[in-house]
Structure 1
Amino acid sequence: MFDAETTAIITGAAGSVVAHMLNGRVDAVREWAARIFRQESKQQRAQQLEAVEQDAAALASRTASKADVTARWAAVLGAYVASHPEVRADLLEMSASPVGSKLMYVQEQNNSGSGTFIGGDNYGRIAPSRGK
């Protein structure tokens, strides 16, 4: 149906969609999908955005495999590029986009003794001392 290059772009874009979902970057997929399906009706765009949410949830809960979700997105993107060849460049962009995870810094701070501490939540009454 497609030439080898277009097939590779579709497959790469589908894989990138799933990689973004697995790395907590559903927001990037949502923005990309809204741009890709911009020519569709409002209802069709909403369906695709809902599919993004459902697939991300299925991957997170492990009720769907990476291979299944990738194959589904390859089919969706393939059908769409067949009727809208102008989105090929957007698919190429997604297939080449770096997939990085969001950085999260988790730290723990334990304090003992009296007084306030910096870098955490203070509970209770804070009474500043007055210098003599």
Structure 2
Amino acid sequence: MKKLFFIFFIITAVFAQNLYFDAYKNIQKAKRIIKTDPQKADRYFIEAYSYLKQLVNTSIDNNKPSANAFNLLGNMYLKGWGVEKNERKAIELLCGAAQLGNKKAKRTLAKLNVKCDKINFKELKQ
């Protein structure tokens, strides 16, 4: 039973890591071409959003929330990258990332002058 759990854990971790890096790469590509090809950039952002949404929901379901995924998704909502700009949702996600120790999220929240309450991660499912 322990071996089966360990194998499941490894597969889940690899899957999550791939989703995160795929989303991160798409965001970087989109940021590079946003001025020259905004439609293509938007497609990259939408794909990244899809990956991050899946990763956030899976990580919450597995009781292992992903600080990096929360941070990236929060920034997407904050900047309106591939999603409708939504500062309230962005702050919730960034607060979740900060609660999990993400330093970038903490810096972003400090710039926004936002103090966070304790986050219930189940409420952050997308």
| TM-score over 0.5 for the pair | no
Which structure would you say has the larger RCO, counting Cα contacts within 8 Å and 6 or more residues apart?
1
For the pair shown, which has the larger CA radius of gyration, 1 or 2? 1
TM-score, normalising length from structure 2? 0.32
